[in-house]
Every structure is written in structure tokens, then in C-alpha cells.
Structure 1
Amino acid sequence: MIIKNVTVIDGTGSAPRPGTDVTIADGHFTDLRPTTAPAPGSHADDQVLDGRGGYLVPGLWESHTHLTGHAMAVPETERVAHLRGQLDDYLKAGITSVCDLGGSVAYGRQAREAVRPGTAATLFYAGPCFTGPEGWPLQIHGDRTMALETGSAEDARRTVRELLGQVDFVKCIFDGKDGERLPLAALEVIVAEAHAVGKNVLAHVATGTDVRDAIRAGVDCIEHSFVPQDAADLAEAERIAALMAEAGTLFCPTVVTWEQLGHNGDRAHLDRLVADRVITAEEAAEIAARPAYGKPFPHHPADESRIRFDYAMRALPLFRDAGVKLVAGSDIALTMPTPTSALLRELQLFAQAGLDSSEIIAAATSRAAEKIGKHDTVGTVTVGAVADAVLLDADPLTDIAHLIDPQHHRAVISAGLLAHH
């Protein structure tokens, strides 16, 4: 396949490359060169896409969700088909890679094996997350296939060694609430064991103390913005941003999680989503009719979630200015029509917080791949990378809506195959 005369936005933050021919072979980008130069090894029977007036960006990533966990509510015989359908929905929205941060290894593996290249988003998974004894999320569902209770460094070493050969990365619940946090010594062992075999560790946090301890333990990415000690004072965010930047720790704030949990039951919030063109009026009515709409969510009170959301939105520019690599992930779709729309709302919130489009594209592509240690093979439009991409009909650097609105998608390419056109 050759995409001719397109502007390439490669996902690394580099300047756009207008007038470029992009060659794809064997599922990878094999050449990028000016349109005036002949592509090496091209053939008359190559599939050609006319990229004139278009913009080629890497396929988007959902870097924090729980597909396999939510699938447990589906009848057992339907779970793999359900997961396959979800991955297809992601691909239709231009989301070519999905990271599952806590669930069944067996269903993660079966879902991935059920997908033929180019037909659905690629799934990467952590399997069960590590948590403290009776820690989150066991209080909500108690399913031991989704979480590994770990009370000591010795437990952690034994269990993580058993898990590492089955998963793409590791997720730890390092949540300081009610004394349920995974022991710090256990987290340190998990990080050391995972890094020894080249796999990354992600840490769910609640407080600033959790963040600081997790950074010192060497985790690769912090999941979720934290509960501030003083919601009016951004000094805590500045200090944590400096620590993250120095350590090279990535940050996936999932601000859309706190927006949803903080405004669950608030019809004015649904009206704002309609005004922001995230959902339709019909979808707002469907969401409001859901049994869980307006009901308290375990572990995350609405008032605390609103604080986390407001603080994160004000603090995001501080993290950017400090040099922290921000990553896009949504976690839940409690007040969204679909999981795909939650991720697209996260990108919109990044823009509302003041991040520019180049930063947002990197957060949803190359940095998401970096978060799970895959940045050398996928997440960019560069020679040698897996050919996942979205061809847009308008410049996403001038308006992020051109990226998140599927109406602007001319084509979606997955593993070098034209998935949607």
C-alpha cells in the first residue's frame, strides 16, 4: 500500500511532513519520502490511497480500560464474542490499540487470539492486578481472577514470576485508602522482577504520598490523578511533577474518570457533553435511564471525584511544562454511550485544560505505546513501526476535533491493512 501526497504527523511531536508518500508492506511502514521521489520497490499493483489534503496520524490508543473485567457481567459463553465486538468498535473509531489494566488472563488471551490482523483493535493486557489484602477492587466484586492479594515482598516475588510470562505488562493497585495499599516492599519487588524481563509496571494511586512512593519504587507510569491535600494549592502538583520529570515517569491522569464519577446523576453535565458534541441528546437520555445513573460509586465518592477532576484540569499544564510525558486513557464509561467515546472525551478534556494538539496526539499514540514498553515497534508513523494509522480530512493540529470526530476519518489502517475507508 502507498498513501500518496499526505501530510504526516508522526506522533513523536516532530514537525508535520507535508507532501509525503508513505509505503506500507508486510504490516509495517517501510518508507516515507517526498511525493516527487519514486518509492523504492513500488509496483503497479500496489494499493494506492490518495492523501491529497489529508493528514496521516498514528492509530489512537486507549491506554487504560478494563474490557475483560466488564465482560465478566456477560454470560460466559458470550464473553469472547463480546470482547471481539468491543475491539471492533474501537477500530471503527480510529483506536487501533487497547490496553486492559486488570482482568482475566484467559479472556485477554482468547480475545486477542480471536482477532485477525486488521479487523479489530490490538489488545494488550496486564491480567490480574496486584493489590493489598482485601484491597481495591476486591471490595466491589471479590473476583480473585482479576486481582492478586499480596501482603509481603515474598508473596510478590513468587506471584509476579508466575504472571510475567503470560502478560504484556503489570498493573499494581497502590492505593493508600483505609490501609489497603499494596506494601511498598512488594511494589519494589514487582518492579525489579518485571524490569528484569523487560516489562513495565503501572501503578494506580489515590494520594500524593502514593505517587511519590511509586515513583521512588521505579514504576513506569502513574495511573490516575491524585487527591490533593489542598485543592486550592497547586504547589503539591508542582512538586510531584518535578519528581516525575526527573525520574522519567509517565502520567495517565484519566481525568474523564473523575469527571464522570463527580457528575454522575447531574443532568446539566449530560447537557454539557451534548453541547461539546461528545454525545447526542438521544444518548444522554439513554445514559440517564441506566440503573447505575446517579448511584454512588464504591470507593470513589462524588465530591472527592469532583476535586480530583478540577485539580487535575488545573494541574495538567504544570505537568506538561515540567516535561512530564502525559498519556491518554479513560478507565470507565459510566456516563458515556460507549468505551470509545470515553477515550475521545479524554482527548477533548486535555485540549480544554490547555494542552496543544501535538501534545495530545503524542499522549494518545507514541506515549501510550511507551507506557507499556512498545514504543520501538508501534505508536508512530515511522519506518519500521507497525502500520496502524488514521487518515484525516482536516488538520488535527489546528483543531483536535478533526482527530476525535470520526466524520473526519477518511480511512483507518490496522497492521498495514485498510480496515475502514
Structure 2
Amino acid sequence: MKALKIALAALAALATQPLAAQMERVPDRPAGEGEGPFGKLVIRGVTVIEGSGAPPAGPIDIVIEDNLIAALYPGGAPAGELETAQRVVDANGMYALPGFVDVHGHNGDAAKAPNPSYGYKLWLAHGVTTVRGVSFYFGAGTPDIADARRSAANTITAPRLIPYAVFGDKWAGGAPDTPAKAREWVRWAKAQGYWGVKFFNGSSPEVFAAAFDEAEKLQMGTVAHLAQTGVAEVNAHKAVELGLDDVTHFYGHFESLLKDGLPYYPEDYNYFDEQSRFGWVARLAPQAVEPGEAKWDEYVDLLVDEAVTLSPTFNIYSASRDVMRARSFDWHERYTLPSLMDFYAPSATNHGSYYKDWTSEDEVAWRGFYAKWFDLVKDFHDRGGRVTAGSDPGYIYQTWGFAYIGELEMLREAGLSPLAVIRAATLDGARSLYEPMDKEPPMGRIAVGQLADLVIVPENPLANLKVLYGTGHTRLNRETGAIEQVGGVRWTVKDGILFDAPALLADVARMVEEQRATR
């Protein structure tokens, strides 16, 4: 139980601070920020990438009534539909996708970004209309549920917020370190309004099994970050056998595939020194069996047979293979808060700011680690496993929104086809959230009867995912010789409300400039 108690102590330390000192309250959505919902909104002439893996089709007119897709008209809607619409958006030549689902979000650290609207607007500006918070905030008294309800009522500018609570966090009942206490905590979390539970490692197999079982009975989802501190007892293989729904990050996978029983760490390894911790993560890959070996195949088959979801969050660790590139992303100057850049800088205390003496050898090791990690996820996907897209933003040079598009690029790098990447970001992400409740999701594809969550972009993301970044894509105009920025999301529709993505980005840029001016 030591690892669990350490994790809960860290969360308790956050909870002892007054809420106002941690994060500001999300301001109400101002008048004019987002139009609608309308009795009837028509998106005209768009090419539809509908989310299930079907190929693009267009031009199509999409008719939205209030918050539902009411009709799809290939070639154009009847005149009567246009005449009775309160708003018509000319999207000729553009592409429409279902609203993106980010299955791994956080938004609660005043040292990085004190106003939650900063992250919420960056998500929306990149087409993310649903986010699972794991958790959005840490500690007791935090507004995870309040933010989710305000977003559902569209009184704040934010994606749809799906709140998960970290196992043992947020209540005053002490560490859930017995099976009975684990069940009690899960019931408590359900009663508060949480949709699911995020687990860190450190519990005994018996406690995990009780918590997973209770969550399943209550139709709550479960996702786990199986940290090194507890993985000797419960790796991903064991957690899946005990009933886990979703493995996030890479934790627990390679420990399930070791050639020997336990991983090797050098005698000076220190988990609490994050450079040591993350430097040695990459050295796990050579200790694991190779793709195609019996142990590898048995493990992948187990994940598929148990209908586990993988949310790899490749992008959050990508700086480890090229930290100089991550420090100089072209969006930092305009869209990354100075306080966030301070947090990203090498630090002895800030989580994920571990590049205190990061070497070429560390980066080479991480590139090798990614190669095997990509192989694992691709193999799982090819055998029918579900992969989703999660960004885990606010750490390691990964700023909200931009980090999500980076994750889509890395899913492509792992070998998923462009259409499979979009499915991971839309339908499969939505299904992973609603499946624990035995429901088909109300969003995730462009189809009649689905919620009106859409991303509308001027360029084709199947040809180039970079056109989804808020900064767009740099292209040479071969006719004029001019260097142009193309792409960027033009409109995000969430709950039938039409958001001007460039205007949201401009507001974020204003936040950055205001903070910079105070310095």
C-alpha cells in the first residue's frame, strides 16, 4: 500500500490549498462567443469524413436542428431547408468531421494556467468537443462536476466534459486500502456524479479487483496508469485479468513482456528523480520480447479478447526523443502562456519537467522505445483492438489542443491509416466513454440523429493532419512563390453551437499577451 499512500498524500497536499489559490472559476460564456443553437443550421457543400472509417463523400449539406443532425443531403439541400434556416454556413470546398474526443485531459494547476478557459478554448479551437478528465482537477472540493454540468448547459465555453476521479482522491474517508473500502470509495464517486475511475498503481490485486468489480456493477469506466511503483505486483496483463477497461500511456505493457521476471534498474535508480525515472523507461524496451514471439502474441491476444481499450498518449512523451524540437514549437510564442513555459523548463519539482541533463543517448533510447511501442499498438489495432486519442496536455512542452493534433500525427506514425486515426479520434473515443454504460454514444460520427458535434476545416486532414493545428500548415504557393499558412480549424460545432475557431485562438493569444505584460 506504500505507493498508494504516497500518491494520495501528494493529492492531499494539493487539496489543502484554498480552491481560489489553485484555479480561477471558469467565467460564464460571454454573449457572442458561439452562435446558437439554432432551430435550424445548415452547413453547405462540405465533404464529409463521417467517423466510422468510411471514405470521404461530398458535397453534402448537413442540416442541424437545435442539437441534432436532422438530415444529410448529398448534392445539396432542398430550397425549403435553406429558406427556413436561421443560419447557413458556406463550407464549399471544406471538410467536416465528427467532433474530436480527447480521452486523457487535465486542467487544474494554477502554476501553469490559472484560468481553465485557456485549456478549454484551445481544445475547442482544435475541434475537440468532448474531453475525459482523469481528473480535470486533483483534490477535494474541486469543480470537476460543476464544470461538467456548466458545459452541458453551455453556460461556459468548453468541450463536453466527462469527469473521472482518481481512485482514493477527493473524499475524506482515507485510503481505500481494503476491498471493502475500495467498493465504498467507488460507490461514493458514483454518487458524486463521476463517470469513471482513473487508477494509479500501488494497490494490491485484491483491492484492484474489488474496485474494478464495483465500477462495472455501477456502469463506471476504468482507466489505469500502471506506474513503476506498483507494477511488480500488477502489470497491465494482471490488471486486464482483474477487469480493467482501458490502459493509458505505456505503463505496464513492457513489464508484461519482459524476457525475465522483473525489470533491471541500475543501483542508483531513483523513481522520485524524474530524469532517472523517464530516462530508464526507454531502457525497458530492450528487456522485452520482440514482436512475433509467443509471449508477445499471447499478450496482444489477451488485450483484444478482453476488449481492452488502449489510449497510448504517444505525444505527451515525444519530447524525450527530441527535446530541442519540443522547446521550439511554433505555437509557443503566441499561444503558450509564459507561466506554462516556466513549468515546462527543467525543474527538480515540476512533474514532467525532467530534462535536467537530457543527452543524445537518452533520445536515442527513446526513439528505440517508440519503435517497439508503435509495434505493440499497431499489432493490437490490426487484430481488432480499439485505440483512442488522448493528449494529457499541460506537461512536457505539450500545450492544450496542439498536443491533441500531435497525438493524431503519432497515431499515423505508429501505422494507423488516416481514416483509422480519425476513427480513433471520433467514434472509437466516443464508444470507449459510453460502453461501460452499455450505450451507443450519441456522438462520434456524422449521421442523422447524432449530436451536432462537428469539426469544419478548409483543408483535407486525410492528406495532411498538420492542417488541423491552430497555427496551420506552411506551404509554398508554386504559382506566386509566396509562403502561405493554410488550414487550421475554421468552425467547431459543439451541442449545435457554432464556434469560430480563429476567434477562440485570438482570445487565447490575448490571455498570453496579458500575462506577458504583467511580467
**Correspondence 1:136-285 to 2 at 5 A:** 149-175=175-201, 181-206=202-227, 210-226=235-251, 228=254, 229=258, 231-232=285-286, 233-234=290-291, 235=293, 237-260=296-319, 262=320, 269-271=323-325, 274=328, 279=331
Counterpart of 2:345 (choices 293, 305, 309) is: 293
The Cα of 1:184 is off from its aligned counterpart by 2.2
Q: Quote how far apart the aligned CAs of 1:326 are.
A: 0.8
User: 1:61 offset after TM fit, Å?
Assistant: 2.1
Tell me the residue number matched to 1:352. Answer: 413
| Alignment-derived partner of residue 411 in structure 1 | 491
Contact 2:316–2:391 at 8 Å: present in 1 too? yes
**SS of match in other structure, 2:415:** coil
Match of 2:325, as an amino acid? D
Q: SS in structure 1 opposite 2:93?
A: coil
Aligned with 2:285: secondary structure? coil
Distance 1:342 1:37, change over 3 A: closer
Task: Quote the Cα distance in structure 2 between the aligned partners of 1:173 and 1:2.
Answer: 43
Aligned pair partner of 1:2 in 42, 58, 80: 42
Cα RMSD (Å): 3.4
Identity, in percent, stands at 23
Counterparts of 2:173 and 2:247 in 1: how far apart (Å)?
A: 18
The one of 360, 384, 388 equivalent to 1:327 is 388
Contact kept? 2:314, 2:410, Cα under 8 Å: yes
Distance verdict in 2 for CA 1:191–1:48, change over 3 Å: same
Moved more, 189-198 or 56-65: 189-198
Q: Distance in 2 between matches of 1:49 and 1:295?
A: 47
Query: Conserved in 2, the CA contact under 8 Å of 1:171 and 1:204?
Result: no
Amino acid at match of 1:122: R
SS of the residue corresponding to residue 91 of structure 1 reads helix
Structure 2 residue runs without a partner (length 5+): 1-40, 259-283, 356-361, 473-486, 502-519
Partners in 2 of 1:159 and 1:65 — Cα distance?
A: 22
1:11 to 1:66, Cα distance in 2 relative to 1, 3 A: same
Report the counterpart of residue 315 of structure 1 in structure 2. 376
Output one character per residue of 1:379-417: Cα deviation in whole Å (capped at 9) or x when no partner: 222222221111111211122223345542221111111
Contact 1:199–1:372 (8 Å) recurs in 2: no
Alpha-carbon distance in structure 2 between the residues aligned to 1:280 and 1:345: 14
Give the match's secondary structure for 1:315: helix
Counterpart of 1:139?
none
- 1:382 lines up with 2:418 in the alignment: no
Aligned-pair distance for 1:163? 1.1
Change in Cα spacing, 1:278 to 1:239, as seen in structure 2 (3 Å) is farther
Relative to structure 1, the CA distance from residue 65 to residue 296 in structure 2 (aligned partners, 3 Å threshold; closer, same or farther) is farther
Aligned-partner SS, 1:373: helix
Amino acid at match of 1:62: D
Query: Helix, strand or coil for the counterpart of 1:225?
Result: coil
Aligned residues of 1:4 and 1:35 also touching (Cα < 8 A): no
TM, length-normalised to structure 2: 0.66
- Report what 1:140 is aligned to: none
Unpaired stretches in structure 1, ≥5 consecutive residues: 132-142, 176-180
Aligned to 1:368: 429
* Residue 34 to residue 404, structure 1, CA distance change in 2 (3 Å): same
Q: What is the distance in 1 between the residues matched to 2:80 and 2:207?
A: 52
In structure 2, what residue type is equivalent to 1:412? Answer: T
User: In the alignment, residue 65 of structure 2 is paired with which amino acid?
Assistant: A
From the superposition, tell whether residues 4 and 192 of structure 1 become closer, same or farther in structure 2 (CA, over 3 Å): same
- Correspondence for 1:99 among 106, 120, 132: 132
- 8 Å Cα contact 1:54/1:393 also seen in 2: yes
The normalised TM-score by structure 1 is 0.80
The question of 1:88 aligning with 2:121 is answered yes
The 3 A distance-change label for structure 1 pair 51 and 270 is same
Counterparts of 1:158 and 1:98, CA distance in 2: 26
**SS in structure 2 opposite 1:67?**
coil
Which residue of structure 1 lines up, in the alignment, with residue 167 of structure 2?
130
Deviates more, 1:146-155 or 1:42-51: 146-155
Larger Rg: 2
Q: State the 1:126 CA deviation.
A: 0.9
Q: Return the offset for 1:279.
A: 4.1
- Return the letter of the residue paired with 1:192: D
1:61 maps onto 2:101 in alignment: yes
Post-superposition offset of 1:245: 1.2
Per-residue CA deviation, residues 187-239 of structure 1 (Å, 9 max, x unaligned), is 22222322223221112224595211222222221111136236232345543
Q: What is the identity, as a one-letter code, of the residue corresponding to 1:384?
A: G
How far apart are the structure 2 equivalents of 1:353 and 1:258? 14
